[in-house]
Amino acid sequence: MAITIQIKLNENLYLRDPQDTKLGRKIIQNSILLIDEIGFEDFTFKKLADRINSTEASVYRYFENKHLLLVYLLCWYWEWVKFRIEFNTINIEDPHQRLRVAIETLVESSQSNPSVDFVDEEVLHRIVIAEGSKAYHTKWVDKENKKGFFTTYKALCKTLADCISAINPRFAYPRALASTLLEMSNQQAHFARHLPSLTEITMENGNLIQVKQLLETFAFGLLAIT
Nearest Cα neighbor of 107 from 220, 213, 223, 219 is 213
- 165 binding partner (options DNA, a copy of itself, none; Cβ < 5 to 8 Å by kind): none
Which residue number, 17 or 94, has a Cβ lying nearer to DNA? 17
What size, in residues, is the chain?
Answer: 226
| Binds a copy of itself by CB under 8 A, chosen from 136, 148, 162, 166 | 136
Which residue number, 15 or 141, has a Cβ lying nearer to a copy of itself? 141
Q: Shortest Cβ distance from residue 193 to DNA (Å)?
A: 24
Q: Shortest Cβ distance from residue 87 to a copy of itself (Å)?
A: 23
The DSSP 8-state label assigned to residue 52 in this structure reads T
| Binds a copy of itself by CB under 8 A, chosen from 17, 20, 64, 200 | 200
Q: Considering just the CA atoms, what is the radius of gyration of the chain in Å? A: 18
Q: Is residue 168 within 8 Å of residue 92, measured between CB atoms?
A: no
In sequence order, the 6+-apart residues with CB closer than 8 A to the CB of 161 are 174, 175, 177, 178
- Interface with a copy of itself in residues 159-188 (CB under 8 A): 172-180, 183-184, 187-188
Burial of 109 (0-12, 13-18, 19+ CB in 10 A): buried
Residues engaged in binding DNA (CB under 7 A): 16, 20-24, 42, 44-47, 53-58, 60-61, 64-66
Q: Is residue 55 within 8 Å of residue 41, measured between CB atoms?
A: no
Nearest Cα neighbor of 128 from 53, 182, 66 is 182
| Binds a copy of itself by CB under 8 A, chosen from 10, 30, 58, 133 | 133
Q: Which residues bind a copy of itself (CB under 8 A)?
A: 38-39, 41-42, 130-131, 133-134, 136-139, 141-142, 145, 150, 153-154, 157-158, 172-180, 183-184, 187-188, 190-191, 194-195, 197-201, 214, 217-218, 221-222, 224-225
